[in-house]
Amino acid sequence: MLEQVDEHGRCLRTDATDDCLIHVDCASHRYPDGTMGIHDLSFSVYRREIVALCGANGSGKSTLLEHLNGLLLPSSGDVYVLGKPCREIRKNVWRYVGLVFQRPEDQLFAPTVLDDVMFGPVNLGMSRSEARAAALDALEQVGVAQLADRMPDYLSGGEKRLVAIAGVLAMKPAVICMDEPTSDLDDFHRRRIEALILRLRDVRGISIVIATHDIDMASRIADRVSIVKEGGIIASGSPQGIFYDRRAMADAGLMPPKVVEIYLDYCDRTGKVPEKRPLNTAELLDAILR
Ligand SMILES: Nc1ncnc2c1ncn2[C@@H]1O[C@H](COP(=O)(O)OP(=O)(O)OP(=O)(O)O)[C@@H](O)[C@H]1O
Ligand SMILES: [Mg+2]
């Protein structure tokens, strides 16, 4: 997909029907204590795609995500959402770009789970009955409808994460950013969130940006992967291109997905040239058994 940019590298597209939904233009963010969260970073999110941000602890993934919905503004550079500078539309960016926080405790505050998930839809202007229906549907989709009347404070870590995802889902934004969506989740709920992310792209046509240490999940579902290191993006491309780039992965301090590791070990041991690039178990078996 080609990005249309002007001579300053800025996205020229200005309406919601275009492919470039978010463009981060050479943005840096300095926190009040002087720490650089991101540095001269450029990044785009296109329509109907799943982008995975992978990188070591402290590399800048969360800082970048928090710029995508206007929670943080860059100290220099710009962020454009639907072609408009985030600085100008900051108060409304949350309507288009939802963010599921890395720590769900930062997101949940209402007395009950249902109130919490209804909060966004009510603020969008839905009636209480519409908001209730949207909230119940979102809770159902992440598999925790039974928690609707519970107090968020007393939920387990994984339950809080699922409720936080439901809270953003209920607002039906054009882009959902999820910060470590699968940490604390059991296998069943992790798979459920993976399936949900794929469904959001395929059925609703929305874009999802995930910051994650779950490289195996990223290899299964991402359309595009960006590797973040020391506040910048050092490599970006297809999962095959990135996860089979041993040098870029090692440079970022990342281990390749298990499937990639097994396939490359298999090729090393058997002296075969790794001409395929399997990313899931079906592709791996296919590549080995042929
Ligand atoms: N509020 C803050 N004040 C000062 N420095 C911060 C703040 N938040 C983050 N940082 C710093 O900014 C850099 C990037 O942090 P960030 O949280 O974006 O990394 P991350 O890639 O999300 O890490 P992790 O994988 O551990 O979640 C780190 O050096 C971090 O210490
Ligand atoms: Mg983080």
Contact by Cβ (8 Å): 60, 230: yes
How many Å apart are CA 48 and CA 21, to the nearest integer? 10
Task: Let me know the angle formed at the C-alpha of 199 by 198 and 205, rounded to the nearest 5 degrees.
Answer: 95
Name 80's bridge partners: 23, 85
Q: SS3 of 175, please? A: strand
String of b and e for 91-115 (b: at least 16 CB within 10 Å)?
Answer: eebbbbbbbbbbebeebbeeeebbb
User: How does residue 151 score in pLDDT terms, banded at 50, 70 and 90?
Assistant: very high
The model's pTM is 0.91
Q: Which of 24, 28, 31 to mutate to test the pocket of ligand 1 (most atoms within 8 A of CB)?
A: 31
pLDDT (average), residues 249-270? 95
Alpha helices in 80-203 (DSSP H): 86-89, 113-123, 128-142, 157-169, 187-202
**Using one digit for the tens of pLDDT, what is the confidence trace for 21-39?**
999 999 999 999 999 999 9
CA 51, 57, 61, 62 dihedral sign is: positive
**Using one digit for the tens of pLDDT, what is the confidence trace for 99-140?**
999 999 998 999 999 999 999 999 999 999 999 999 999 999
Smallest Cα–Cα separation from 232: which of 42, 35, 30, 3? 42
Q: Which helix (H) or strand (E) holds 52?
A: strand 50-55
Q: Which helix (H) or strand (E) holds 29?
A: strand 20-30
User: How does residue 18 score in pLDDT terms, banded at 50, 70 and 90?
Assistant: low
58 CB less than 6 Å from ligand 1?
yes
195: tokens are 């399936």
**Using one digit for the tens of pLDDT, what is the confidence trace for 35-69?**
999 999 999 999 999 999 999 999 999 999 999 99
How many Å apart are CA 127 and CA 223, to the nearest integer? 36
What residues flank ion ligand 2 with Cβ within 5 A? 61-62, 102
109 CB less than 6 Å from ligand 1?
no
